[in-house]
Amino acid sequence: QLQLVESGGGLVQPGGSLRLSCAASGFTLDYYAIGWFRQAPGKEREGVSCIGSSGGSTDYAKGYANSVKGRFTISRDNAKNTVYLQMTSLKPEDTGVYYCAAQKYYYCSGPVIWKDYWGQGTQVTVSS
């Protein structure tokens, strides 16, 4: 199997924290950027964050949507073939299904079509 699997979603109160994981199976993430996206019912899919590929470097390009900047942190552990999204100070408007996607040889700058791999998503609900 070649796939991405998201995990770590759940129900959390406003102001709480969650850490999402995006784990690759059947391939290695070293040469892939990973993007996090989210979608609420009836709304368009929204880009949340991106971490670039490196091929061996530990200095990765990173980007965040303005709506999450300062609250979310993206990181990667290539040895575990996993990318993380640490979410803090969560708000009800952060609610949605969170997806990760992989794109080879991308550095989170400029336009790109995320077509290589997509996960199935994990639900995040922020509610009191």
pLDDT of 1 > 80? The answer is: no
pLDDT of 61 > 70? The answer is: yes
Tell me which DSSP letter residue 115 carries: -
Q: What is the mean pLDDT of residues 64-93?
A: 96
| pLDDT of the residue at 56 | 64
Cα–Cα distance list, 89 to 16, 18, 19, 106, 108 (Å): 6, 9, 12, 29, 24
For the segment 108-128, what is each residue's pLDDT rounded down to a tens digit? 988 899 999 999 999 999 999
- CB atoms closer than 10 angstroms to residue 52: 21
Q: What is the C-alpha separation between 116 and 12, in angstroms, rounded?
A: 31
Is residue 19 within 8 Å of residue 85, measured between CB atoms?
A: yes
Q: What are phi and psi of 106, to 5 degrees?
A: -115, 145
Is residue 116 within 8 Å of residue 32, measured between CB atoms?
A: yes
pLDDT of 2 > 80? The answer is: yes
